[in-house]
Structure 1
Amino acid sequence: MKEKWIAPKTVIEEFTPNEYIAVCWGVCCDVDLANDYEKNHYAPGRPPKTWWQLGCSHDNDHCGAIGNQVIRDANNDGKAERMIETGTDGLGDLTCTITNMSIGNVQVDDYIYWTTSASDGRVWHHRGTVVATVPNRPNAS
């Protein structure tokens, strides 16, 4: 077999992440306050039923777990555009809608309110305080 001489060359691969978030934060639902809300607020419709009666409850293993709310940079511009709840109780990933501010403005220590909805029309009303995922290293995700 003949071998062909090829001049040595350096090849540099550029690392391009598929998602980039400059600020890393987490939030978990305050399940006690959220469950109180669901027990005392009515869903639209007749006969009137509370969200709790419709099966909207919160627990520490799902929305109450800090790792179950995930922010995403959908446009790869370094800004958070959406938040998703993962690890739900058999409902798949649910889109979180922050109701008291724009997701792009969320900062550590903010108290945020958000909702998630199931395909059957149920709506969960969440609230929680934003925390740094790695204290003293806000860009470490």
Structure 2
Amino acid sequence: MVRKGWVTPKAMVEEFEANEYVAACWGVECDVDWANRFEWRQGDYNKGVTHDNIHCGNASNQVIYDDNNDGKADRMVEEGTDGLGNLLCTIYSDDNYSSVRDVSSVKVGQEIYWTTTAADGRTWNHRGTVVASTPGHPNHS
């Protein structure tokens, strides 16, 4: 014979637990007109080193990540390439691309210069302004 017992009712509280960390991030829209003129002067434009509004000209495609939420940039990645995969960005302090700048010094509202390099060796030179969040991706999540 099975014994039946009384179980005292109790309330259970569930807390939200994130299943992954979402980093704060900023976007950068490349000034494609400026960048295409730069590539033309460099002699790389006819080698397929071009800029357009769908790719680097879209602020959602260049993302600066603050991985540890300390208010400082940790890395910049171009994610919206034309079939080249994600490209790590190197940031410079000048439009001659001669002095590498630490990504942690980048702030919202600043104009920055950066390069991206594909596996085939082509390098794109960019210029743009850092924005607080990217359209449609406020936390890039």
CA root-mean-square deviation:
2.6
Give the aligned partner of residue 124 of structure 2.
Answer: 124
Q: Deviation string for 1:16-55 (max 9, x for gaps)?
A: 551332xx532100001101111111xxxxxxxx221321
Specify every segment of 5 or more residues in structure 1 that has no aligned partner in the other structure, as ranges. Answer: 42-49, 135-139
Q: Which amino acid aligns with 1:18?
A: Y
Give the aligned partner of residue 114 of structure 1.
Answer: 114
Aligned with 1:87: secondary structure? coil
The match for 2:56 among 43, 59, 63 is 63
Task: Name the TM-score, length of structure 1 as normaliser.
Answer: 0.73
Give the aligned partner of residue 31 of structure 2.
Answer: 30
Correspondence 1:20 to 2:23? yes
Contact in 2 for aligned 1:19/1:72 (Cα 8 Å): no
Q: Deviation string for 1:92-116 (max 9, x for gaps)?
A: 1111111123222212221100000
The 1:51/1:3 distance shift into structure 2, 3 A limit, reads farther
- In 2: Cα distance, 1:32 partner to 1:3 partner: 78
Task: Name the TM-score, length of structure 2 as normaliser.
Answer: 0.73
The 1:52/1:8 distance shift into structure 2, 3 A limit, reads same
Say which one has the larger Rg.
2
Q: Percent of aligned positions with the same letter in both sequences?
A: 49
Aligned with 2:50: secondary structure? coil
Q: Which amino acid aligns with 1:91?
A: L
Contact in 2 for aligned 1:70/1:85 (Cα 8 Å): yes
Q: Deviation string for 1:29-87 (max 9, x for gaps)?
A: 0001101111111xxxxxxxx2213211000100001111112234x353321111112
Contact in 2 for aligned 1:63/1:85 (Cα 8 Å): yes
Q: Which amino acid aligns with 1:34?
A: A
- Residue-pair matches, total: 125
